[in-house]
Amino acid sequence: MESLIILIFVLGYLAITLEHNLKLDKLIPALAMMAICWAIIAFGIDGFSNWFDSAKGALVEGYGTLAHDGRMHMMEETLLHHLGKTAEILVFLLGAMTIVEIIDYFNGFATIKSFVKTKSKSKLLWIFCFLAFILSAIIDNLTATIVLITILRKIVSSRDDRIWFAGLIIIAANAGGAWSPIGDVTTTMLWIGKKVTTGHLFVYLFVPSLLCMIIPTLIASKMKAFRGNIVDAEEDPDPINKNGATMFYLGLGAIVFVPIFKTITHLPPYVGMMLSLAVVATFAEIFSRSKFSISTVDGQQEHEEHAHHSPVHGALSKIELPSILFFLGILMAVAALESLGILFGFATTLQETMPMLGTELHGEGVSDLVVLLMGVGSAVIDNVPLVAASLGMFSVPMDNELWHFIAFAAGTGGSMLIIGSAAGVVAMGMEKIDFFWYLKKIAWLAFLGFAAGAIGFILIRNLVLNA
């Protein structure tokens, strides 16, 4: 049964990568393989010998002795657990995307556009990559990618030029998210799981993450794609909105408030994002002078008139819901592999068979090569379950350099494939970037950045430990 589920996942993954060849939207195979994998688990529940408890990060003891009803109950609880965790991410993303679209409704991104005076492609590349690196550490790599690609559309009219910029933005955003506890979902997992602290995270990962961004950007800036100047974009048909700058700073401030709210209340981030969305939506409705309502009101004509003028309705209608559903399918399909202990067993096998590079530093018999392979694997399989498995595999103490290496590898390794990170998936949806185009043009740059950052981390780790 495990082999069949792995086969379904591989076939679904191939269908996603061949989206443009098959003329089939990627959300279809993602949702299909999720449903089929869980259906196979339900039908063959009595034939599985292992079950992985995601909450505890370990295999369930005595699972083989459970009766059919007990196994079904455990499967239902696990499915609900993963759906809840996935929903937290998706609701968070919906809130962030809506705030970004509300800012765009008021043409708020013209605020940053007005600061960009250069027409040089190479200078623009450096500006956007540094913005991605910094913003992703503050508002997370996914939201930073959404914001910057939205701005990019206002400045670069040619899509052929834009997708090159978008590819480097993905690398920079993932690099920037790795050194911040709120910059990437996997780093946040390690932070919440009390494996890393903010101070040590900065000491170990800031320079490696910076190298991971600078090396690809430096090489790309010398390439033909970034020579010369951009063609002047068409004039923005939307008039300058007097509230645009206010909504821009309010929207970004509201997103930055989310980790503060989480620190104060200890509630999940999506709760703070919903509060931020409510505040931004309130000001948006006031500024647009529409009646405050995001639900149906009495009278169809009144509702239609409101919907036409409401920035909230306008923002919700522009959200990339196919990307949200694709993310749902991918995360829940990987959750099926995780629940059967397949990912846990795979990581354990790597730990036992890989050469013991760096063992004396990490302890626990953990090789540097295992962590590096986890980084490469995060480009193929979602980094969230890989990090979740590592939480149960390794028992080294808080702020051990192993956790920081895992944070870097999982956070930046996903840049090597466009579907290897949330930032890549969203960029793929926003600019319709082809999987194989990214593989040919951007993946090798991401790999060089990943390798440079890994070498930088090892050097810094040795300096810290020998100090």
- Please report, for residues 116, 222, 280, 347, the alpha-carbon distance to residue 191 in angstroms, rounded to integers and kept in the order given: 35, 37, 28, 21
- Please report, for residues 99, 100, 114, 138, the alpha-carbon distance to residue 253 in angstroms, rounded to integers and kept in the order given: 11, 12, 19, 10
Q: How many Cα atoms within 13 Å fall on the side-chain side of residue 269?
A: 28
pLDDT at site 172? 94
pLDDT at site 382? 64
Among 220, 149, 229, 173, residue whose Cα is nearest residue 432: 149
32 and 40 Cβ atoms separated by less than 8 Å? no
pLDDT at site 292? 43
Q: How far apart are CA 119 and CA 226, in angstroms?
A: 11
Among 145, 118, 17, 113, residue whose Cα is nearest residue 427: 145
Whole-model pTM?
A: 0.74
pLDDT at site 344? 72
Q: How far apart are CA 136 and CA 143, in angstroms?
A: 7
- Please report, for residues 88, 121, 331, 448, the alpha-carbon distance to residue 218 in angstroms, rounded to integers and kept in the order given: 37, 13, 34, 11
Split the chain (467 residues) into runs of 10 and give each run's mean pLDDT.
86 78 82 92 85 74 82 88 84 84 82 76 91 85 84 83 92 92 80 79 92 95 86 58 84 84 83 92 82 46 51 80 82 84 71 56 62 84 69 74 90 88 83 88 94 93 79
pLDDT at site 133? 93
pLDDT at site 138? 79
pLDDT at site 412? 92
- The residue length of the chain stands at 467
**Number of C-beta neighbours around residue 85 at 10 A:** 18
pLDDT at site 104? 80
Among 425, 452, 432, residue whose Cα is nearest residue 170: 425
pLDDT at site 291? 45
Among 97, 170, 181, 98, residue whose Cα is nearest residue 128: 170
pLDDT at site 395? 66
pLDDT at site 298? 47
